Amino acid sequence: MNGLKASEVGFAMILILLGSVVEGFGYGLSLGTRWPYTRNIAVLMLRGDPEATHRLVATLVGLVALALAILSPGITTITGLLLVVITALFGMGTLYVLAGRAPAFVHGTHGLLAYGVFLTYLVGLVYPGVDFWTYFGAMGALHALLLAVFLGGMTTGQRGFGQTIGPFVQPQKASQWTVAAHVGAALLLVATLGWLMPAYPIAFYLAVGQVAVGFLLFHAVNLKPKDPGVIVAFHQSMVLLMSLAIVLQWH
């Protein structure tokens, strides 16, 4: 069971990173709004389409979640399975966000749920027997982190597929107001982790560095709105490391 939980944590991390690769290299609508599969999806994956790979890894996450719920039913595994199903449905919704037919809230919620899946199985692996919701309710650091994650997804959804945000001092449009809110959430995360020092020093330093990475990403999006590049995946990997640092209490 621990092997399956560890595998699910790993697959969930890979899935999140693949989502950032899809965004960073402009593959968000490479399969159109068809979901979850196309007839030649395996061929597209072998040809290097990260969106096809993302969907197939998502299937693997779902199958492992189902196996865990059957073999070891409990609050963690049932919660994880439900989150996987809901995340998948919102994943379909993100395609319509990128196509301009659904609100940015859907994109932000998808990112939030994806991290919910990752954290559910991570907590279940690291703290067996601990009720996930009780644990989560007591973790203010994770609340601040997930707020930033949600607003980061909102930022992507609000600007639209291949659209620039534009430099600004005073926000003038919805995408710029969303960026401002996301920056505020990032600073709140830094302040929260700083307030909790020395409980999560690694997460704190990562959060400080992430603010600088976020500004670089903002400029990359404005320079190349369709494919800002690998910095999107780097930005996401920093969030994953922060999550691990908080749950594992790295020092």
Half-sphere exposure at residue 246, Cβ-oriented, CA atoms within 13 angstroms: 29
The reported pTM is 0.96
Strand, coil or helix: 215:
helix
Burial of 20 (0-12, 13-18, 19+ CB in 10 A): buried
| Residue of higher predicted confidence among 81 and 250 | 81
Q: What is the pLDDT of residue 160?
A: 84
Q: What is the pLDDT of residue 213?
A: 97
The answer to whether residues 51 and 31 touch, using CB atoms and an 8 Å cutoff, is yes
- In this predicted structure, the answer to whether residue 251 has a pLDDT above a threshold of 80 is no
Q: pLDDT band for position 136 (50/70/90)? A: very high
Q: What is the pLDDT of residue 150?
A: 98
Average pLDDT, integer, range 28-37: 90
Q: Is 224 left (phi over 0), alpha (psi -120 to 50) or beta?
A: beta
The whole-angstrom separation of Cα 219 and Cα 241 is: 23
* Residue 243 CB partners (closer than 8 Å, separation 6+): 115, 118, 119, 122, 142, 145
Half-sphere exposure at residue 131, Cβ-oriented, CA atoms within 13 angstroms: 4
What six digits make up the tokens of 210? 């992430």
What six digits make up the tokens of 218? 């903002």
Average pLDDT, integer, range 48-56: 96
- In this predicted structure, the answer to whether residue 38 has a pLDDT above a threshold of 90 is no
DSSP assignment letter at 38: -
What integer best gives the mean pLDDT of the chain? 95
Q: pLDDT band for position 119 (50/70/90)? A: very high
Find tokens 């709105």 and name the residue. 225
Q: What is the pLDDT of residue 34?
A: 87
What six digits make up the tokens of 24? 């960073």
What six digits make up the tokens of 61? 């996450």
The whole-angstrom separation of Cα 225 and Cα 50 is: 18
pLDDT tens-digit profile of 140-164? 999 999 999 999 999 999 998 889 9
How would DSSP label each residue in 60-107? HHHHHHHHHHHHS-SHHHHHHHHHHHHHHHHHHHHHHHHTTSS-HHHH
The whole-angstrom separation of Cα 127 and Cα 136 is: 12
Q: What is the pLDDT of residue 234?
A: 97
Average pLDDT, integer, range 12-35: 94
Cα-Cα end-to-end distance for the chain: 28
